[in-house]
Amino acid sequence: MDQTVKAHDCCSTNGTNSGSYDLIVVGAGSAGFSASITAAEAGKRVALVGHGTIGGTCVNVGCVPSKAMIRAAEAVHGGASAARFPGISPCAHAVDWGGVVKGTADLVEEMRQKKYIDLLPAYENVTYIEEGPARLVEGGVAVGGRVISASRVLIATGSRPHIPVIDGIEAVEALDSWGLLTLPDRPESILVLGGGYIGCELAQMASRLGVKVTLVTRSRLLPGAEPEVTEALTEALKVEGITVETGLAYVSVAKAAGGVSLTVERGGKTEDLTAERLVVTTGRIANSENLGLEELGIETDARGSVMVGPDMATTRAGVWAAGDVSDRDQFVYMAAYGAKVAINNALGLEQMRYDNAAMPWVVFTDPQVAGVGLSEAEAKTAGYDVKTSVITLDNVPRAAAARDTRGVIKLVADVKTDRLLGGQIAAPEGSDTIQTLAMALKFGMTSKALGETIFPYLTTVEGLKLAAQTFDKDVAKLSCCAG
C-alpha cells in the first residue's frame, strides 16, 4: 500500500524544483503540512520535503486507524453490555478481525488522499519533494544529491515507536501499535507492554474484538493522570476481563510454546507471563538522527527530541522545529499548532509563543479519560495552595440514566483566588466534556463561577458543574437541577 507522491505528480512548482525558497519544511505530516500551508497563505515559496508515506503518524499509523478500530470494538461491546438496561437482552456480534483491519486500511487511504495528497495542488507555491532522506546543511537542506537553499528551515520529522531494552526482545518479533492494527489474523492472546495511553487504548480494543489481553506496566496505568482517574480506568478494564499487571520490572523475553514468555520481577520474585504475541507500547522517540543536527549545533535531549524555545526556535539561528520531533507535547493538534507558532515567528508574520496551559488531552478508552491544566501534584509543585473536588459518576444523572456509572471527575483550584487550575475526568463521554473545562481555564474561571453556570440536564458535561459545587457542598443532597 505505497501511497508516496512525487513532486511532479501533484504539485505546481512555480517554475522549477531547484533554487532557493523562503522556507524548507522537512517532514510531511501534520506539523509539516500546517507549516507549509501557513507559509503559503502568506505568499511564501515553500519546499516541503517528505520521505516515506505522506501524511505522517496520525493519519497513517496513529490516530485514525487506532480510533477507527476502537470504535469498531465499541460497537461489539455495545451489544454485549446491553443487558445493563432492564428488559434488554445482550447480543454477541461475530467479529471478522481481518475485515476490520482491511476496512480501517481503506479509511486511512481515503483520509490520506483527502487531507494530504489532494491538498497540495491547491497551494501553488508549495513544492513537494520526495527524493530520499534529507539532511540539514549550511544554507539549506541536502536531499537527492542536491542542496535546496533557504534561510529558514523547519524540522518536522515526527517520531516512531520506542522499543525498550529487554533481554531477548529482538528474537520474538514484537509488534508495535501499527503492527497490531495491521495484523491480518486475530491473535488468541497478547501481552501489551506499557500502560500509557496507547497501551490502554489498544488493550481494550483488542479485548473487545475477542483477544485475551494482559496489560503489563512498571508503574500504574496512565502514570501522569490523577490517581482517582487511574483507579477508575483500571477497575473498568479488569471488569471487562483484561488482566492488569502493575508495579513490576521487565527481566527478559523469550519464545515459548505457542508464543512468547515475558519474565517480570515484582516484590523480589520473578514470574512468567505468556501470550501468543507481544505488543510494545512503551512510548515514542523522535526521528532526529541522520539529520545533521549535531554538526549545526542543534541541541537535542536525552531521547533525541529537538530542544526548542517558546517561539519553537532551535539552538541554531534560522532553524525551527515542531511536532513529535520537538520536545513539546506529542499530540497531532499540538503539532499543527506548534508549526503555526514556528512559522509565524520564522517569517515575521505574528509574534507567537507556544502555550499549552489550556491544552486538553484525551485517552480513548471506555470510560474515556481526559484532562486539562494542572493535576493536584503539578499544582502543588508549582507553588499553589490547592483545593480539590472529586465526585464519582453515580452523582451525575446522565450516568444513572445510561446505567453506566463508571468513572470520576476531579477538579483542582487555587485556595486563595478560587481560580480553576485543572481537572480530569473518566467517563464514557469524557472526550467531549473536557473542552468545556478547557474554555473555563483559558478565561480564568473560578470554581464558584463554573458551579453557577447553567448546564443542560442529563448531560455528562453537567458533571463539571456538580464537581465545581462539590468544593462547597454535598451534591448528593441536591435535587435534580438544583443549585
Domain of 379, CATH number, reads 3.30.390.30
**Banded model confidence at residue 2, pLDDT cuts 50, 70, 90:** very low
User: Annotation-wise, does 309 bind a ligand?
Assistant: no
Specify if 13 maps to a domain: yes
User: Annotation-wise, does 480 bind a ligand?
Assistant: no
Segment 116-162, tens digit of pLDDT: 999 999 999 999 999 999 999 999 999 999 999 999 999 999 999 99
pLDDT of residue 10: 35
For helices 197-208 and 227-239, what crossing angle results, to 10°? 20
- Is residue 418 domain-shared with residue 473, that is, in the same domain? yes
- Mark which of 234, 257, 283 sits at the end of a domain: 283
Residue owning grid cell 507492554: 193
Rounded CA-CA distance 124/120 in Å is: 8
User: What range defines the domain where residue 244 resides?
Assistant: 169-283
C-alpha cell at 456: 443542560
pLDDT of residue 15: 36
Specify if 109 maps to a domain: no
Rounded CA-CA distance 123/44 in Å is: 10
- Is residue 20 domain-shared with residue 154, that is, in the same domain? yes
- Is residue 140 domain-shared with residue 20, that is, in the same domain? yes
pLDDT of residue 446: 98
User: Annotation-wise, does 132 bind a ligand?
Assistant: no
pLDDT of residue 20: 81
Give CA angle at 331 (329, 337), nearest 5°: 80
pLDDT of residue 407: 97
pLDDT of residue 433: 97
Report how many domains make up the chain: 3
User: Annotation-wise, does 300 bind a ligand?
Assistant: no
- Is residue 130 domain-shared with residue 197, that is, in the same domain? no
Specify if 60 maps to a domain: no
Check pLDDT > 70 for residue 1.
no
Specify if 133 maps to a domain: yes
User: Annotation-wise, does 267 bind a ligand?
Assistant: no
User: Annotation-wise, does 189 bind a ligand?
Assistant: no
pLDDT of residue 76: 97
Specify if 304 maps to a domain: yes
Mean pLDDT of 305-317: 98
Residue 14 amino acid letter: N
- Is residue 382 domain-shared with residue 372, that is, in the same domain? yes
pLDDT of residue 5: 34
Specify if 129 maps to a domain: yes
Q: Give the residue from 122, 134, 152 showing the smallest Cα distance to 344.
A: 152
Specify if 69 maps to a domain: no
User: Annotation-wise, does 139 bind a ligand?
Assistant: no
Segment 290-308, tens digit of pLDDT: 999 999 999 999 999 999 9
CATH of the domain at 146: 3.50.50.60
Residue 469 amino acid letter: Q
Check pLDDT > 70 for residue 356.
yes
User: Annotation-wise, does 159 bind a ligand?
Assistant: yes
pTM of the model: 0.93
Per-residue DSSP letter, 124: T
Check pLDDT > 80 for residue 3.
no
User: Annotation-wise, does 460 bind a ligand?
Assistant: no
Segment 432-446, tens digit of pLDDT: 999 999 999 999 999
Mean pLDDT of 362-376: 98
User: Annotation-wise, does 197 bind a ligand?
Assistant: yes
Return the minimum-mean-pLDDT range out of 256-260, 303-307, 340-344, 474-478: 474-478
- Is residue 293 domain-shared with residue 155, that is, in the same domain? yes
Question: Please, which contacts does 262-267 make with residues 24 or more away whose CB atoms are closer than 8 Å?
Answer: 262/191, 262/193, 262/216, 264/216
- Is residue 126 domain-shared with residue 244, that is, in the same domain? no
pLDDT of residue 481: 63
pLDDT of residue 482: 56
Mean pLDDT of 347-357: 97
Segment 53-87, tens digit of pLDDT: 999 999 999 999 999 999 999 999 999 999 999 99
Rounded CA-CA distance 434/424 in Å is: 8
Segment 152-174, tens digit of pLDDT: 999 999 999 999 999 999 999 99
- Is residue 174 domain-shared with residue 201, that is, in the same domain? yes
- Mark which of 283, 303, 334 sits at the end of a domain: 283
How much of the chain exceeds pLDDT 70, in percent? 95
- Is residue 181 domain-shared with residue 254, that is, in the same domain? yes
Segment 318-331, tens digit of pLDDT: 999 999 999 999 99
Check pLDDT > 80 for residue 368.
yes
Mean pLDDT, all residues of the chain: 94
**Banded model confidence at residue 483, pLDDT cuts 50, 70, 90:** low
Mean pLDDT of 244-261: 95
User: Annotation-wise, does 235 bind a ligand?
Assistant: no
User: Annotation-wise, does 282 bind a ligand?
Assistant: no
- Is residue 330 domain-shared with residue 461, that is, in the same domain? no
Segment 5-63, tens digit of pLDDT: 333 333 333 333 445 899 999 999 999 999 999 999 999 999 999 988 999 999 999 99
pLDDT of residue 28: 97
**Are 447 and 411 in contact, with CB atoms under 8 Å apart?**
yes
User: Annotation-wise, does 323 bind a ligand?
Assistant: no
Rounded CA-CA distance 423/391 in Å is: 12
- Is residue 276 domain-shared with residue 289, that is, in the same domain? no
201 burial (CB, 10 Å; 0-12 / 13-18 / 19+) is buried
User: Annotation-wise, does 102 bind a ligand?
Assistant: no
- Is residue 436 domain-shared with residue 341, that is, in the same domain? no
Q: Give the residue from 325, 348, 349 showing the smallest Cα distance to 338.
A: 325
Segment 444-460, tens digit of pLDDT: 999 999 999 999 999 99
Counts for the chain of helices (H) and strands (E), in that order:
14, 23
Specify if 93 maps to a domain: no
- Mark which of 346, 373, 396 sits at the end of a domain: 346
